[in-house]
Structure 1
Amino acid sequence: MSLPPLRDVIARYGLAAKKSLGQNFLLDLNLTARIARGAGVGPGSVVYEVGPGPGGLTRALLEAGATVIAVEKDDRCIEALAEVDAAWPGRLTVVPADALKVDEAELLGGTKALVVANLPYNVSTVLLAKWLSQPVWPPFFTSLTLMFQREVADRITAAPGNKEFGRLSVLSQWRSVPRRLFDIPPSAFVPQPKITSTVVHFTVLPEPVAPSELRDLKTVVDAAFNQRRKMLRSSLKGIGVDSEKLIEGAGIDPTRRAEVLSVAQFCALARSLNRLRAGD
């Protein structure tokens, strides 16, 4: 079964992109195929996709041989995706739901998936944080291949010492290795956004870069970057323990600032916090 061009699908089903859903549909099939290749999708792959819209990326994933479980919040897209399902019988499951509320591990039934998505801009970092904060690690996915605004990709991949290095950098680099694949210009989307997009691939680490409880890591990272221009001995004062003891317990110079610490050093701070809270 041959499928109609995506522009025709959008017109036929009245799929004008909704700003409230952060939608920008990617119509360039060469680019969607490139994303599928960058994600390592091949015959037998199980892919979890969020926000398939009219199904441009979904087509590329199916053409590469994958079985796709797609979560779509916009009811208007469900009928259009039924055409894609008919073209690849039995290989596409569309779940009408809000991806922020989905229990992916339960949905996948224990199967490990590749997560591949052109994420809505307005929930991209929230979903990334959700996936990288899974209570069970290794998680339900073996890799993430996701599209972000280029400025967000800069933050995800920034190294310590870079002005873009911050909370998102630490969270992303603690449990995975994020790598920029390529940029996508505004002209590739309908409607055209005002910004350039970047595809980022995250290779999941079997173990985090350094041991830490997620709650403690988030606490020290949030406090440190809330006042990133201040020295640690000042920025970490408000987290309920003696900041001098906290920093000393991590073996870090208290005059350093958040943006120059490595992920492993933030983990050392988190472990020190855990010990102080436990009364050690």
Structure 2
Amino acid sequence: MPDLPPLREIIARHGLSASKALGQNFLFDEQLLGRIASIPGDLADVAVLEIGPGPGGLTRALLRAGARVTAVEMDERCLPALAELSEAFPGKLSVIHGDAMKLDHDALMGEPYAIASNLPYNVGTALFVKWLGGQSWPPLWTSLTLMFQQEVAQRIVSAPGNSKFGRLAVLAQWRANAALSMKVHRSAFTPPPKVMSAIVHVTPNDMPAGVTFKMLEQLTAAAFGQRRKMLRQSVKSVSGALEALDRLGVDPTRRAETLSVEEIVEIARELS
């Protein structure tokens, strides 16, 4: 295992600072980074996709765990630091300079892969929905280990009846298992964000038959877009939704947050 200089030294030497515009916050605690890298399980010779590695804090933890890492970084200022890391782990790190939102991740990886990222806050949710929305299931990715703002993480893993239960929870849970693995205090970052963070771990599950992601997304956008309203008001913009509620015997005076994931999937199945 190569003897690497401290992350703070790397950042100082390359004159790096976290970009607010890119949603960056750097983690320096290597023990904490090692714990995050352990969440997906044994990574020995596992292909891992990392989005927004920055100066490479989590990247080095993943490499030390034995992973073969493909890191996508938009900030060209971070590329020299990542190039040094690539030299320290020959053949184990591939760095792509580009926008992760515009890339086909399956084509980029070309084999089953895990995703592990301290996601940039400004694109984290959009990337998450992109990974959940694949047409083929199970997906090529085998697990997602992702850092979010704690409030977003809680929304992803929340249960029906909870005020945080909504569109993200349904999209994450209808054909996958989502769990909150650990919380990360704001003081662990440089600069410290205004909010706490948390790690969510997601693994694919069986896909319910007869349901499309597109329909589920449309239904949840309507139902939770007006979450204070009864279903008969919130979903009426979705063609056939009121009739589907009637056929399934779902009380139209209920609010979306009282429905289970299974009930929402059943309504989407009727509409599909």
Q: TM-score range by the shorter chain?
A: over 0.9
Following superposition, the deviation at residue 41 of structure 1 comes to 3.8
Alignment-mate amino acid for residue 28 of structure 2: L
Following superposition, the deviation at residue 209 of structure 1 comes to 4.9
- Structure 1 counterpart of 2:51: 50
State whether residues 138 and 207 of structure 2, in contact with CA within 8 Å, keep that contact through their aligned partners in structure 1. Answer: no
* 2:122 partner SS: helix
Deviations 1:128-165 (A, max 9, x none): 00100112211120000000001001100110000000
Number of residue pairs aligned between Structure 1 and Structure 2: 271
Following superposition, the deviation at residue 256 of structure 1 comes to 1.5
For 2:124 and 2:175, the matched residues in 1 are separated by 18
For 2:268 and 2:174, the matched residues in 1 are separated by 12
- Structure 1 counterpart of 2:250: 252
For 1:55 and 1:250, the matched residues in 2 are separated by 51
For 1:18 and 1:229, the matched residues in 2 are separated by 37
- Structure 2 counterpart of 1:65: 66
State whether residues 143 and 202 of structure 2, in contact with CA within 8 Å, keep that contact through their aligned partners in structure 1. Answer: yes
Structure 2 spans left out of the alignment, 5+ residues: none
Following superposition, the deviation at residue 175 of structure 1 comes to 2.1
Following superposition, the deviation at residue 35 of structure 1 comes to 0.6
Change over 3 Å in CA distance of 1:126–1:138 after alignment to 2: same
- Note if 1:217 corresponds to 2:216: yes
* 1:239 partner SS: coil
- Note if 1:203 corresponds to 2:203: yes
- Structure 2 counterpart of 1:268: 266
User: Which consecutive aligned stretches of 4+ in structure 1 deviate over 4 angstroms post-superposition?
Assistant: none
For 1:77 and 1:142, the matched residues in 2 are separated by 28
Following superposition, the deviation at residue 7 of structure 1 comes to 0.9
* 1:42 partner SS: coil
* 2:137 partner SS: coil
Tell which deviates more after alignment, 40-49 or 150-159. Answer: 40-49
Q: How does 1:53-202 map to 2 (within 5 A)?
A: 53-109=54-110, 111-202=111-202
For 1:225 and 1:43, the matched residues in 2 are separated by 41
Identity fraction in percent: 52
- Note if 1:40 corresponds to 2:41: yes
Q: What is the RMSD computed on CA atoms of the aligned residues?
A: 1.3
Structure 1 spans left out of the alignment, 5+ residues: 275-280
* 1:78 partner SS: helix
- Structure 2 counterpart of 1:23: 24
* 2:21 partner SS: helix
Deviations 1:49-99 (A, max 9, x none): 001111110111010111101111111111111111111100000011101
State whether residues 249 and 269 of structure 1, in contact with CA within 8 Å, keep that contact through their aligned partners in structure 2. Answer: no
State whether residues 69 and 94 of structure 2, in contact with CA within 8 Å, keep that contact through their aligned partners in structure 1. Answer: yes
